[in-house]
């Protein structure tokens, strides 16, 4: 039930990576505004706990987003329960902390599987439903690292997220010509105070301990905003948007400054 003065969000929203972090917080914020949410993640106990905290407007579906069949089952479960899907948030993903010089085939395959193939599976699972209605929104959670080399040790992650950005833009152009009622949004967070870093491959960074890490509530609120006001892309904070803008204006100086902080 919406207990605030904010407008009700009468939408059915599928959220991947919803057992913790941004996904869990997004589910709670949307449900508080009246949305119905289908929550997906691999960890059953944690996912069930998030759904229980929301109540009858939440559906928990244990899902491995790197498996196409699981994602298709998620879409079907949401449709069976709620009758429609209005928004699909591809939030699940995985980071990495490893120098470009040290990346292995397994590292690269994992980044592509976890951060790109999972997004494609989500898009393809929901797109026929959206096309049948000429309505809907896909929100792909990318990263500020896709636009600037803020953390070179996460280069492979940022590189794949750059690919997600272009995939999203290309899909947006494709749909504009045939199904203009479907929106595709890229959401670009900076450092958010979640367990993302410690769950990364070769983990060395705990985002929660980094100075200036954005509260998870603020990052989730930015996604709520793009659901209420669909647009091609948005940053979760003015700080990361301004930093990316500066990098685009003066890349050499910006990279030199970043390099000086590495030692």
- The residues annotated with a catalytic role in the active site are 157
CB 168 within 8 A of CB 186: yes
Backbone angles phi, psi at 72, to 5 degrees: -65, -35
Burial of 32 (0-12, 13-18, 19+ CB in 10 A): middle
| Cα three-residue angle 84-185-70, rounded to 5 degrees | 50
C-alpha to C-alpha distance for 84 and 164, rounded to whole angstroms: 25
The span from the CA of 170 to the CA of 177, in Å, is 11
Distance of CA 85 to the CA centre of its chain: 17
191: tokens are: 């450092």
Cα separation, 145 vs 223, in Å, equals: 18
Among candidates 100, 215, 105, 121, which has minimal Cα distance to 164? 121
User: Which one, of 183, 188, 190, lies nearest residue 232 by Cα?
Assistant: 183
């Amino acid at each position: 039930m919406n207990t605030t003065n904010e407008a009700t969000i009468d939408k059915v929203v599928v959220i991947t990576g919803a057992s913790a972090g941004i996904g869990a917080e997004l589910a709670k914020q949307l449900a508080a505004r009246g949305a119905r949410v289908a929550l997906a993640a691999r960890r059953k106990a944690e996912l069930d706990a998030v759904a229980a905290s929301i109540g009858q407007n939440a559906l928990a579906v244990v899902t491995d987003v790197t498996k196409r069949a699981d994602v298709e089952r998620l879409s079907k479960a949401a449709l069976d329960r709620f009758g429609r899907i209005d928004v699909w948030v591809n939030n699940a993903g995985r980071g990495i902390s490893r120098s470009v010089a040290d990346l292995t085939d397994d590292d690269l395959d994992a980044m592509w599987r976890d951060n790109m193939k999972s997004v494609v599976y989500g898009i393809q699972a929901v797109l026929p439903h959206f096309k049948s209605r000429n309505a809907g929104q896909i929100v792909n959670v990318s990263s500020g690292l896709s636009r600037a080399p803020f953390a070179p040790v996460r280069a492979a992650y940022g590189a794949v997220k750059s690919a997600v950005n272009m995939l999203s833009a290309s899909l947006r152009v494709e749909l504009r010509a045939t199904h203009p009622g479907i929106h595709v949004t890229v959401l670009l967070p900076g450092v958010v105070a979640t367990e993302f870093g410690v769950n990364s491959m070769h983990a060395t960074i705990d985002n929660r301990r980094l100075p200036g890490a954005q509260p998870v509530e603020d990052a989730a609120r930015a996604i709520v905003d793009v659901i209420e006001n669909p647009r091609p892309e948005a940053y979760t904070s003015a700080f990361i948007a301004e930093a990316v803008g500066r990098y685009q204006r003066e890349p050499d100086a910006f990279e030199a400054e970043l390099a000086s902080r590495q030692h």
